[in-house]
Amino acid sequence: MKESLYNVAKEYDEKQWWVYNTLTTSLVFIEDEKYKRIFIDWDIDEDDNDVKALYEMGFLIDNDYDEREYLRSLREDVVNSTHRIANMMIAPTMDCNARCYYCFEHGCHHEKMTFSTADAIVDYIAANWNHDLFSVTWFGGEPLLASDVISYFSKKLYDKNIKFISKIVTNGSLLTDEIIKNAKGFWNTIKIQVSIDAEQDEYNRIKNYKNGVADNPYELVINNVKKALEAGIKIRIRVNFNPLEQEKAKSLMSTLEEMFGSFDNYDCYFAPIDAPSKVVPPIAGTFKDEKMHPWLSLIRFSQKYGYFLGNNRGESGNFLGDSEGILANLKIYPCPTNCYASCPHVFAVDSKGDIYKCHRVLGQGKQYCSGNIKTGIIKNDIYNFFSDTSLALKECENCKLLPICQGGCKINAYMYKDNHACCPAKSVLPELVEEYIRQTKERGLL
């Protein structure tokens, strides 16, 4: 018998410890003396009932059980899955009317999709979709600059009897009455994600919209979001934040909640900005100079608005061992892969019909491109990079979060070569487990 690699433990009070296993999601409280005897002194009696129970829960495992290999096999299963296409991210244009300093699309082309490229994508979907439900995410550039392409594409999907829904990722500046009508109507839009990075003056400075959008783009976007919410569209606001400026992110969330919190179809989340470390430090870092780690601090703050709390998704929506959805919402739940790009039938298509495994490099040209929708996928080096199940960072091998993040974001590891790849929970795992304990106790489950 040996100890699992994925046990995380902390003294809970003077008398006991908690131990959480990030692979099995088992949680146990053990008396101080017993914890030290078993996990520190390794004084193990395999006939002891406590030892047997810890084995059953995955805290102790067989000597020949290789957990790293098991996790690798999960990643491999995803790569070898043979599902047909269920979703696609499509950029109807790579052009954008904003110029955010952190945008990963600097240097990409700005072309709008032609109807002939749209036809080719629809033909590809018709030949390869799962014949159940196809989901298209309109991405860009700013996708609403090419609303005519979205309309054309949607009509073509109807013509081919492809049952579909759509989502839109937009800056919100072009959410006009007509777009809202189309989104609610024949675009079958179930959710619109709008990025808002700051309050008025700073927002207008960061977005740096090209001329003609509005005198006050912030006000325009806020009004547009309100109209869409009133029309019943589900809106998710993404608050991009710099971990060193957490107070700004909190203030923005409060302002937005004041304006939109009464809508049931409104939701908001924090997303750390991905940029080189000298511009924005990775959220997975330690932030020793801050009173509280920014990720933990933002989680605590946003809980007053109902975020990061357990959310029972009903019989079909909860994960095994997480009946209240607490672990999933705290983002400390295990996952077979963190990078959807490793799935064989998952890719994004830019406005030229070029295929990219990851949307973050959409439109960036040859270095990241794996073929074209008209000529098919090319399994080139970058394709193989995304499908490779080996871990990008050396430290992943010994990281207790491996079951949760499975090696993290591949493109961040590739571009920044540091813990930008890591999940935000990396430096605050024990605190998040304690949050899980608190919520579980509150619900009378412990």
Helices (H), 36-164: 49-56, 67-79, 115-128, 147-159
Q: Which of 150, 157, 330, 401 binds ligand SF4 (CB under 6 A)?
A: 401
**Residue 434: Cβ-neighbour burial (10 angstroms; 0-12, 13-18, 19+):** middle
Q: Which of 402, 428, 429, 433 binds ligand SF4 (CB under 6 A)?
A: 402
Task: Dihedral sign for Cα 118, 123, 128, 133, please.
Answer: positive
Residue 362 touches ligand SF4, criterion: CB under 6 A = no
- Answer yes or no: are the C-beta atoms of 396 and 338 closer than 8 Å: no
Helices (H), 168-323: 177-184, 200-207, 217-230, 246-260, 294-303, 314-317
Q: How far apart are CA 102 and CA 104, in angstroms?
A: 6
Task: Dihedral sign for Cα 279, 283, 287, 293, please.
Answer: positive
- Answer yes or no: are the C-beta atoms of 10 and 433 closer than 8 Å: yes
Q: How far apart are CA 235 and CA 445, in angstroms?
A: 32
**Residue 108: Cβ-neighbour burial (10 angstroms; 0-12, 13-18, 19+):** buried
Residue 395 touches ligand SF4, criterion: CB under 6 A = yes
CB of 393 to ligand SF4, least distance (A): 5
CB of 16 to ligand SF4, least distance (A): 27
Question: Binders of ligand SF4: how many residues, by CB under 6 A?
Answer: 24
Is residue 87 classed as helix, strand or coil in its secondary structure? strand
Residue 339 touches ligand SF4, criterion: CB under 6 A = yes
Give bridge partners of residue 376 from the DSSP assignment: 372
Is residue 134 classed as helix, strand or coil in its secondary structure? strand
CB of 446 to ligand SF4, least distance (A): 27
CB of 392 to ligand SF4, least distance (A): 7
Please provide residue 377's backbone torsions phi and psi, each rounded to the nearest 5 degrees.
Answer: -70, 140
Residue 309 touches ligand SF4, criterion: CB under 6 A = no
Q: Which of 144, 275, 299, 341 binds ligand SF4 (CB under 6 A)?
A: 341
Region at 325 (left for phi over 0; alpha for psi -120 to 50; beta for the rest):
left
Residue 409 touches ligand SF4, criterion: CB under 6 A = yes
7-13 and 16-21 beta bridge pairing: antiparallel
CB of 184 to ligand SF4, least distance (A): 29
Residue 5 touches ligand SF4, criterion: CB under 6 A = no
CB of 370 to ligand SF4, least distance (A): 13
Which of 118, 358 has the CB closer to ligand SF4?
A: 358
Q: Which of 75, 250, 360, 420 binds ligand SF4 (CB under 6 A)?
A: 360
Q: Which of 410, 424, 431, 436 binds ligand SF4 (CB under 6 A)?
A: 410
Hey, how many other C-beta atoms are within 10 angstroms of the C-beta on 268? 21
Which of 26, 337 has the CB closer to ligand SF4?
A: 337
Which of 204, 406 has the CB closer to ligand SF4?
A: 406
348-349 and 354-356 beta bridge pairing: antiparallel
Residue 421 touches ligand SF4, criterion: CB under 6 A = yes
Contact region for ligand SF4 (CB under 6 A) — 39-47, 71-79, 149-157, 339-347? 339-347
Q: How far apart are CA 397 and CA 404, in angstroms?
A: 13
CB of 412 to ligand SF4, least distance (A): 6
Query: CA dist 124 to 137, 200, 363, Å?
Result: 16, 42, 19
Residue 393 touches ligand SF4, criterion: CB under 6 A = yes
Q: Which of 61, 198, 332, 411 binds ligand SF4 (CB under 6 A)?
A: 411
Contact region for ligand SF4 (CB under 6 A) — 105-113, 179-187, 290-298, 421-429? 421-429
Residue 293 touches ligand SF4, criterion: CB under 6 A = no
CB of 317 to ligand SF4, least distance (A): 22
Q: Which of 338, 387, 389, 439 binds ligand SF4 (CB under 6 A)?
A: 338
Residue 399 touches ligand SF4, criterion: CB under 6 A = yes
Residue 283 touches ligand SF4, criterion: CB under 6 A = no
Tokens of 328: 């999933």
Residue 396 touches ligand SF4, criterion: CB under 6 A = yes
Q: Which of 152, 269, 340, 416 binds ligand SF4 (CB under 6 A)?
A: 340
Q: Which of 332, 408, 420, 428 binds ligand SF4 (CB under 6 A)?
A: 408
CB of 180 to ligand SF4, least distance (A): 28
The total number of residues shown for the chain amounts to 446
Which residues contact ligand SF4 (rule: CB under 6 A)?
338-341, 358, 360, 393, 395-396, 399, 401-402, 405, 407-412, 419, 421-423, 426
